[in-house]
Amino acid sequence: MIFIGVLFIIQLYQPDRNIDENIVTPLHISETMDVPVNVMKILKSSCFDCHSNNTNYPWYSYIQPVRSMMERHIKNGKENLNFSEFGSYSRRKQENKLDRIAKQIKANEMPLPSYLLIHRDAKLSEIEKAEIINWINDLSKPAI
């Protein structure tokens, strides 16, 4: 009985959602960089949920305590890398962020395995991984 009561009470805690209502600021990566369409599609489906100001919430995100866990992931994710505010980073930081993205994807460290458990469609195929890594490697090559 107490357990059900507690479960009921925690449902009342519903913090603000990480949704930007499709407002794309000039700081968004899509505005600051030339991102190819195919790469942008991958970023959107596999990265933006935790690394942007716009999360695509699944239905069970309305249920606590799932909700709180999710918000914590999003907060951490955005602290480390926020594609919605990519333009606010110094050029050095942008370069290094991209370098880190390529390395983490290559090493299967991102997207997080715990996230992929639920978001099957966010898992990157070898082709998708190569698309992102090649895009980043081409950027770091000096223009001829």
Between residues 50 and 54, which has the closer beta carbon with respect to other proteins?
A: 50
Minimum CB separation from other proteins for residue 94, in Å? 9
Residue 26 in the binding site for other proteins (CB under 8 A): no
Residues 46/122, Cβ–Cβ less than 8 Å: yes
The region of 2-10, 21-29, 49-57, 116-124 touching other proteins under the rule CB under 8 A is 2-10
Residue 63 in the binding site for other proteins (CB under 8 A): no
Between residues 12 and 143, which has the closer beta carbon with respect to other proteins?
A: 12
Residue 9 in the binding site for other proteins (CB under 8 A): yes
Which residues between 76 and 95 bind other proteins (CB under 8 A)?
89-93
Residue 75 in the binding site for other proteins (CB under 8 A): no
DSSP assignment of the chain = -HHHHHHHHHHT--PPP---TT---TTSHHHHS---HHHHHHHHHHTHHHHSS-----GGGGSTTHHHHHHHHHHHHHHH--GGGGGGS-HHHHHHHHHHHHHHHHTT-SS-HHHHHH-GGGPPPHHHHHHHHHHHHHHHSPP-
Residue 120 in the binding site for other proteins (CB under 8 A): no
Q: Give the residues lining the site for other proteins (CB under 8 A).
A: 5, 8-9, 12, 89-93, 96, 99-100, 103
